[in-house]
Each structure stands twice: as structure tokens, then as C-alpha cells.
Amino acid sequence: NEKPIIRPYTPTSSSDLEGELHFIIKRYEEGKMSQHIHSLKPGEKLAIKGPIMKIPYKGENYPSQFC
């Protein structure tokens, strides 16, 4: 009956690496998600989704396609 653990992470891999997705995830002693990810063995699966869209910042130096 536990709720799913959801945490945002930013990929560190290049979008040119088709079929690969890289993250840097620090393990925290009290972190449920980081502990789970670090306990996975090669070949085990982890469900991910994304991206989560945000409202673009309309700042002075922001690309015009977002303003």
C-alpha cells in the first residue's frame, strides 16, 4: 500500500546517444529512491517517465521561441 516514489532527475547523456540514458545519482542514507536505484543489479528494470514540462522563463536573455 505504499505510494510510488517519484523524484526528478536530469539526464547527463547526450541526446546523440540513441538508446542510452545516463544519470548521476548520489546515494543518500535516508533516500528511498536513491537507495533503491543503487540496489539494482545489471538487467533489472526501473520505470521512468518524462519529461515534465515547466512554464518557460521569459527573461531578458531567453531564446525568443519561448517568449
Q: What is the pLDDT of residues 28-64, one digit of tens each?
A: 999 989 999 999 999 999 888 877 777 666 666 655 5
0.85 exceeded by pTM = no
CA distance from start to end of the chain: 43
Distance between CA atoms of 65 and 67, rounded to whole angstroms? 6
Q: Is omega for the bond preceding 42 within 30 degrees of 0, making it cis?
A: no
pLDDT at 66: 47
Distance between CA atoms of 67 and 63, rounded to whole angstroms? 7
Higher pLDDT, 9 or 53: 9
pLDDT at 59: 65
pLDDT at 57: 62
